[in-house]
Amino acid sequence: MTDNAPMHPILAEIEALLTGKAEGRYGLSAVNQRQHALQCAWLAEKDGHGDALIAAALLHDIGHMVHDLGEDPASEGVDDRHEELGQAWLAAHFGPEVTEPVRLHVAAKRYLCAVEPDYFARLAPDSVKSLALQGGPMNAEEVTAFEANPMFREAVQLRRYDEQAKVKDLPTPPVSHFLPAVARCLRG
């Protein structure tokens, strides 16, 4: 993107959400929604992932920003289904390589709690709290069904970044750094 080219409306909206409406705290952690999104995308980029996973990482919690349930509905005992809201919001503009890891990132937490015995013990307190609202660890049938999804590995990788992306005051590139990767994922 150059400064002269008009920005696609969805990119402008994403930038506005992440720079404007993302001051809210991320659950119980020491970062806000913007810092969480940026840390997540930065982890994906530093690990050498392609545009789709970087975009998915940046946008995985956009569902929290497109509803009016407040900043931390989990603390009120409400599961905001933000993974589905986010997927629905993104689906008009992005393909499944972006929207599926977003939709599945909560399921991936439930999956990892089922298949990795120490995963639950390492969860941050806010993740433990929301896990209960989200249905707890998967059962065996749910694990099998989850592994049948062609994007389940990407969703699991995104979920690992999600859990790591809560570091207070960690410097990252700004939102604008990641928008070209998001732009390359736009369909048609």
Structure tokens that stand for 46 in this block: 């530093």
Piece of 13-21, 50-58, 120-128, 156-164 that binds Fe ion (CB under 5 A): 156-164
Tell me which residue of 51, 79, 53, 61 sits closest to 25, measured CA to CA: 61
Binders of Fe ion among residues 60 to 99 (CB under 5 A) are 61
Residue keyed to tokens 């509905």? 73
Using the minimum distance from each CB to Fe ion, give the nearer residue, 100 or 162: 162
Piece of 48-56, 58-66, 71-79, 90-98 that binds Fe ion (CB under 5 A): 58-66
Least Å from the CB of residue 1 to Fe ion:
26
Least Å from the CB of residue 3 to Fe ion:
31
Considering the rule CB under 5 A, would residue 100 count as an interface residue with Fe ion?
A: no
Least Å from the CB of residue 130 to Fe ion:
8
d(CA 9, CA 12): 5
2 and 14 Cβ atoms separated by less than 8 Å: no
114 and 97 Cβ atoms separated by less than 8 Å: no
Least Å from the CB of residue 159 to Fe ion:
9
d(CA 12, CA 16): 6
For residue 17, what are the CA distances in angstroms to 33, 46, 49, 63, 72? 10, 24, 24, 11, 16
Piece of 43-51, 54-62, 121-129, 180-188 that binds Fe ion (CB under 5 A): 54-62
Look at residue 138 and give its three-state secondary structure.
Answer: coil
166 and 45 Cβ atoms separated by less than 8 Å: no
Structure tokens that stand for 40 in this block: 């997540």
Using the minimum distance from each CB to Fe ion, give the nearer residue, 7 or 133: 133
Least Å from the CB of residue 109 to Fe ion:
8
Binding residue for Fe ion (CB under 5 A) from 58, 98, 162, 179? 162
Please give the residue ranges that form the binding site for Fe ion (CB under 5 A): 61, 162
